[in-house]
Amino acid sequence: MINIKYNQILPALTLALGLSLAWPGYADYGTIKLSSDPWKPWVMGEEGKQAEGGWAVEIAEELFNRINHPNIETVIYPYERCLTQMKTGERDVLLMAKKTPEREQYMAYSDVAATDPQLLYYNPEKMKNFSWNKVADLKPYRIGTVQGFNYGELSVLAKKESINIESVATDEQNILKLFSGRIDLVAMNVSTANYYLQQNPKMVGKLQAAEKPLSDAEFHFAFSKNGKAVKHLSQINAALADMKADGTMARILGPGK
């Protein structure tokens, strides 16, 4: 039997404690809780479960690794619930969120992580040469959106201009509604449309975008002001800048994002 004396244990504990305070690798590893809706190709997975991957998840993992806080958990929820969680602090970080004055009341934003324009998509087999200049031009159409998403000018003026908006949980549902003729237009990010076109070659030629964007769509990591991760915001901004400078963001997203 091995006998370890108290006076042998105490120096070892003192050394371990000193290392944990002095070495960034031994920082506080309490779990930081991230959330998003299911948003391909940014966040892959099912509602109510941990994310299985995606661009935003990969970026978040790299960011928190770089600030020596790798213990994160990304769970997928409907977007409106994500926003509610940010208000209460139930979750700490919302992935790839657009900045609005209302949201800034309860969330603090990182620097811009990526841009991904939002366009209006249509089926050219049913609507030829669709274009628009102002939100009022959209009155004749049924437009599919995702619940809780912000679409720039469309979100601001939709009620004022009496625009027919139909919101669902995912972009995929909107695409199916478009092809079945239940809506006329889908408001969607370029990367998402491109993802579905790559996954479904039969859609090529059946999903086309109007030239004028709804929004240039700058996306940030949003931190709940009532959460425990907001104290890391300045470190996250520094890590974002480093990822852009060293080519990591371009590797994950491809050039131009």
Q: What is the pLDDT of residues 119-145, one digit of tens each?
A: 999 999 999 889 999 999 999 999 999
Q: How many residues does the chain have?
A: 257
pLDDT of residue 205: 87
203 and 171 in a single domain? The answer is yes
Distance, in Å, from the CA atom of 33 to the CA atom of 189, rounded to the nearest integer, reads: 25
State the amino acid at position 175 in one-letter form.
I
Q: How many helices (H) and strands (E) are present in the chain, helices listed first?
A: 8, 11
pLDDT digits (tens, 9 = 90+) for 166-189: 999 999 999 999 999 999 999 999
Domain of residue 235: give its range.
27-113+219-253
pLDDT of residue 129: 84
- What is the reported pTM? 0.82
108 and 167 in a single domain? The answer is no
Mean pLDDT over 9-23 rounds to 39
CATH at residue 41:
3.40.190.10
Is residue 161 within 8 A of residue 136, CB to CB? The reply is yes
Distance, in Å, from the CA atom of 169 to the CA atom of 162, rounded to the nearest integer, reads: 22
How many domains is the chain built from?
A: 2
Model confidence band, residue 61 (pLDDT cutoffs 50, 70, 90) = very high
The token pair that represents 193 in the structure block: 């449309």
Establish if 5 belongs to a structural domain.
Answer: no
Q: How far is CA 243 from the centre of its chain?
A: 17
126 and 205 in a single domain? The answer is yes
Compute the chain's Rg from CA coordinates. 22
Instruction: Report which DSSP code applies to 136.
Output: G
- Indicate the residue among 191, 209, 227 that finishes a domain: 209
Mean pLDDT over 214-240 rounds to 96
192 pLDDT more than 60: yes
